[in-house]
């Protein structure tokens, strides 16, 4: 599957722009910083997913009684 399949179709979307940014002018240190920032954002998104799943599970168990 292509990366384009995961990106929103909205023009001017920051995520789409980020994936198209030219990495050639960046130094190794800048690339490491970029990776750290992206990994932190991935962790934040995963935490939000976990929260949503746990919230839904809690709600479902509450209403199944």
Q: What is the pTM of this model?
A: 0.67
CA 58 distance to own-chain centroid: 24
Let me know: does 7 contact 15? Beta carbons within 8 Å. Answer: yes
The CA-based angle 18-13-1, given to 5 degrees, is: 70
Q: Is the pLDDT of residue 65 over 60?
A: no
Give the pLDDT confidence score for residue 14 in this predicted structure: 87
Higher pLDDT, 55 or 4: 55
Q: Where are the domains of the chain?
A: 26-65
pLDDT digits (tens, 9 = 90+) for 9-60: 677 788 888 999 999 999 999 999 999 999 999 999 999 999 998 887 776 7
């Amino acid at each position: 599957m292509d990366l384009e399949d995961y990106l929103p179709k909205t023009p001017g979307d920051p995520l789409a722009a980020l994936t198209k940014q030219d990495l050639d002018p960046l130094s190794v240190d800048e690339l490491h910083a970029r990776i750290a920032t992206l990994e932190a954002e991935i962790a934040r998104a995963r935490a939000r997913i976990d929260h949503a799943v746990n919230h839904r599970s809690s709600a479902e168990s509450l209403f199944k009684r």
